[in-house]
Amino acid sequence: MFVSLLINTLSLLAIAYLMQGVHIKSFWSALILAIVLAVVNTIVRPIALFISLPVNLLTLGLFTFVVNAAMLKMASSFVGGVYIDGWGTAIIAAILLSLISSILYWIVY
């Protein structure tokens, strides 16, 4: 679990470095964001996916990117020192987060 948290923290820092619209002040802010994001993804994301199921079926699963962006934006609103400029930035950041995390998981495991 600690390795997973560290991978997500490093992924968030990489996204802040790569994108101009994602602002993370410190490593600790990224770590807290990773923890809050894990909690939000555990509690809120399944409910949001269930509610958006009809739209998700119509878009062949692409609406999941919007749900992931909403979870990232929601988590960032709870953490000081983290700011995401807009919804477009949040969608791109969510896609990058899944890609970078997947690559880091592949390297570690």
- To the question of pTM greater than 0.85 for the whole model, the response is yes
| Tens-place pLDDT, residues 16-35 | 999 999 999 999 999 999 99
Total structural domains within the chain: 1
| pLDDT tens digits, one per residue of 44-77 | 999 999 999 999 999 999 999 999 999 999 999 9
Q: Which residues contact 38 (CB under 8 A, 6 or more apart)?
A: 5, 8
* pLDDT for the residue 6: 96
CA R_g for the chain: 13
Backbone angles phi, psi at 84, to 5 degrees: -115, 125
Range of the domain at 44: 2-108
Q: What residue spans of the chain are helical by DSSP H? A: 2-18, 27-51, 53-58, 63-78, 87-108
pLDDT bucket at 78, cuts 50 / 70 / 90: very high
